[in-house]
Amino acid sequence: MKTVGDKLDHFKVVGVKPGFNHHEEHGQSAFEDITEKSFPGKWKIIYFYPKDFTFVCPTEIVGFDKLNKEFLDRDAILMGGSTDNEFSKLGWRREHKDLDKLGHWSFADVTGSLIDQLGVRDKQAGVALRATFIVDADNVIQHVSVNNLNVGRNPDEILRILDALQTEALCPCKRQPGGETL
């Protein structure tokens, strides 16, 4: 499993844009490839959940979405995904009233390449564990948390951790004269 201090390697997943419920709206596609080069200069909150159309997952997704503006205010892009395809994600948005016009990115990792790169696939079920990665603007992992399939997350805690990480990144308190880090 990749951990704090590791850099994201190349990956490509299909992103489902915020606010879309259909594969095309107003002449624009709902889909866009997301790679490690997407969102330059931004922090990324990458969270995984096991499957679309489940009972626990929407509560977490809605919890993250309620904080989306706060993540954006901190130059962080919020993106949640599973191994289900992009059409499943749109269908779930249409079917579940709380996911209608979801305000942050969803992603489909149908090959499991990102899940496997990060080492968060449940070996028995074959799906993603409930993993959360906070990745800085240089694509270096700054935080990892992984829960079992049946244990949800607290999105407020992820925001608190992001605040602490960004404060630490700006804090000169660990630097000695001459710029060396303690």
* 3-class secondary-structure state, position 51: coil
Q: Phi and psi for 169 in degrees, rounded to 5?
A: -65, -30
Annotated active-site residue in 57, 61, 67, 134: 57
Concerning whether 57 is annotated as a catalytic residue, the answer is yes
* 3-class secondary-structure state, position 15: strand
Q: Are strands 76-82 and 105-108 parallel, antiparallel or unpaired?
A: parallel
Query: E strands within 17-156?
Result: 24-25, 28-29, 31-35, 43-48, 76-82, 105-108, 130-135, 141-147
Q: Identify the DSSP state of 74.
A: T
Cα Rg, the chain, nearest whole Å: 17
Which phi-psi region, left, alpha or beta, contains residue 39 (left: φ > 0; alpha: ψ -120 to 50)?
Answer: left
What amino acid positions are annotated as catalytic residues?
57
